[in-house]
Amino acid sequence: MSTSPVKNFTPRKRALQGTPLTNRQLNQLSTPKSIRLVPNSVGTPECFTKVLLETPKVTSKRSRDQFDEECNLRVAVRIRPMNASELAIVGCEDVVRVKDKQIIVCPPKCSSQNVSMDHTFSYDHVFWSIDEKNPLYAKQEDVFMTIGVPLLNSAFKGFNACLFAYGQTGSGKTYSMMGRNVCSVNDIDSEEFSGITPRFCRELFKRVSELDDDCTVSVDVSYFEIYNEKIHDLLANTTNQSGTSKVPLKVREHPILGPYIVDLTSHTVKTYPELREFLISGNRNRAVASTAMNDFSSRSHSIFSIELGQSRSLNDTDNSRRSKVSLVDLAGSERLGSSTNDERMKQGVSINKSLLTLGKCISALAEKRKNHFIPYRESVLTWLLRESLGGNSLTSMLATISPSSSHLDETLSTLRYACQARTIVNRATINESPHDRLIRELRSEVERLRALRRNFEQRSSYSQSSSFNDTNNSEIDEIKTKLSETEQQLLEAQEIWEQRFMESRQNQIRELAEAEKYKVELESKVRILNSVNDDLTLSPYKTNFLEELEGVLTDSESSENFLEQVKLWCRENDLICTYNSGTIKIVNPTKKKHSLLPLEMLHVKEFDNISDFLNQLQWIDNRCSKSLTKAEVVASMNQIYQLLEGLQPSEDSNLSLLYAKVNKMLQKFETSIISTLTRPKTVTFNLD
């Protein structure tokens, strides 16, 4: 029995109870269109909010080309001892406790502050520097070895590094970064009081001296402060037109390197004592003032930057790297209060503004929200520290606090900011050329494949299973093929690098030789101009001046022909002929006589031949002259130039450069002698 297919229809909507429908309304009710169901579709009930269901994609790992090391910002906290002013406060007590890497802030026993429970904070390092007799006491050397040495290691690897001290005013930031007396050589070099910055510099040059001979290192330093949101160079003696204050510098943005300071002086140093002089000089120029917490409180943020450049030979893996280390001593935060000093109020507002912006940036980076705006440009400090906060740098933070209950609010604020900063992630990259990076990665890949091949070969030698050996052999063949391809890529990359290096070196030599040649030509023209006996009248305009100068320095065609005839006759008669500044000098070495001929006053056409002309010359006995004249000096030097001209090399660039230097030295020698013989000359400019 056949059955007809069953049709499913959606029932009509029911009318509301108690409301009868008319015939017209019934006719308007129609059957809804059938909806084609998609197999395996996921629907959302109408009683819930609609959601989009999709399979999450696999998140791919970032390439090593983007960054080499990804790590959180390392945070250390240092607790200083209570000072005399805090101990003088009635009821003041120590409220900070240390347990391993944790800091516990206890509520004070006798206080009206709203703190009724313990606050616990965890950090990477905690330095307890209250009682020197306690074995847990952290000295200056302990602080440097813990947070300073890792930054130095990162700098030699090619990473940018940064360390900044953050905390309340008078909490020990400058003491930890610089030392007790920042302007004293004895305290800066003292093992007891020396801070992180001088210890970092001493260890830097110590490691430089231990490097191999094929490694060339350059160290450049700069030192500046941010005072009232303005940048001042601490190593430059520049003032404004009134001479009352330093000239503020401007910040610009480089598309690749990031923010930089325009006209900031950078000094190349070879030794630590040389660097120490710049460090002490900058500390003396830094703005300080007396506060309630510190008699010599820093009123500006200071940044001491060290640029370390390393270059090695061609056969080394690490060819050239450049890293930058920033050691930052921030100004202390404080409450403004009711100060009547306008300058002090302005300083406090600027300090708190930059520190507030720094806190906002730390909070925004700690939230780790995608496409979240980070207010770097709201302050000069955060703009310059942009790469150090979540950028291309390995950064550490040293938070300094006071254990006194009188500063409990400031201590808790500092500890909270330090906890937030610990969650910031920096992605640092080794600062090297892309081609050097490619060679380094290819060599690492070759070593990895070779180790993998050795491992498979050892496993195949121990196994007796034929099926396992077949599989293992196929994998070994695949690894060998990949290894061969990688080695070929490495060889090609090395050849390209060496070719570019040689081309760059040849271009530098060629440019240097051209510069020397151009310089020699200019000096030669000036030398000839100085040797002219007559005074010159030249036009002040450029084109006319060059034309007139060209006329002075060059001879006419007829004069050149006549000079060649005279030289030929002198060579045939064993005479020496020299020419300079329109004067011919003929020397008879046998009879020790010479003759001077002004070229513009002589005409060879009046005589039948050159011999008749030269026989009419007046000869002067050389023995009668007791001192050299300018003409004799010029004649002698021209003979040397003629001999030197015959030794000029043709193709060798190194010899060409050496030839130019010898020629330059001879010209300096000639100019020095002539300057002692010539009288002063005048140059008159016609303005008509």
Contact 683, 538 (CB under 8 A): yes
* Torsion angle of C-alpha atoms 280, 187, 290, 397, degrees rounded to 10: 80
Beta strand 125-128 with 74-79 is parallel
Longest dimension (CA), the chain: 153
CA distance to 5, 599, 665, 666, per residue, from 637 (Å): 122, 20, 12, 8
Contact 420, 397 (CB under 8 A): no
C-alpha to C-alpha distance for 263 and 533, rounded to whole angstroms: 46
| Closest CA relative to residue 246, chosen from 216, 226, 222 | 226
Tokens representing 405 are: 């209950």
Annotated binding site: 167-174
| Closest CA relative to residue 660, chosen from 672, 647, 670, 677 | 647
Q: What is the 3-state secondary structure (H, E, C) of 376-410?
A: HHHCHHHHHCCCCCCCCCEEEEEEEECCEHHHHHH
Annotated binding site for ATP: 167-174
C-alpha to C-alpha distance for 353 and 373, rounded to whole angstroms: 18
For tokens 């970092």, the residue is 200
Contacts of 433 (CB under 8 A, 6+ apart): 319, 320
Contact 108, 403 (CB under 8 A): no
Contact 375, 382 (CB under 8 A): yes
C-alpha to C-alpha distance for 433 and 416, rounded to whole angstroms: 40
Handedness of CA 567, 570, 571, 575 (dihedral sign): negative
The residues with which 251 forms a beta bridge, in sequence order, are: 261
* CA contacts within 13 A on the Cβ side of 451: 6
- For the stretch 522-527, contacts whose Cβ atoms lie closer than 8 Å and that sit 24 or more positions apart, written own/partner, are 523/664, 523/667, 524/667, 525/549, 525/553, 527/667, 527/670, 527/671, 527/674
| Closest CA relative to residue 311, chosen from 392, 434, 213 | 213
Tokens representing 168 are: 């309340």
C-alpha to C-alpha distance for 332 and 405, rounded to whole angstroms: 18
Contact 223, 324 (CB under 8 A): no
C-alpha to C-alpha distance for 440 and 157, rounded to whole angstroms: 13
C-alpha to C-alpha distance for 585 and 632, rounded to whole angstroms: 8
Beta strand 320-329 with 161-167 is parallel
CA distance to 453, 460, 475, 477, per residue, from 470 (Å): 15, 9, 9, 11
Contact 291, 169 (CB under 8 A): yes
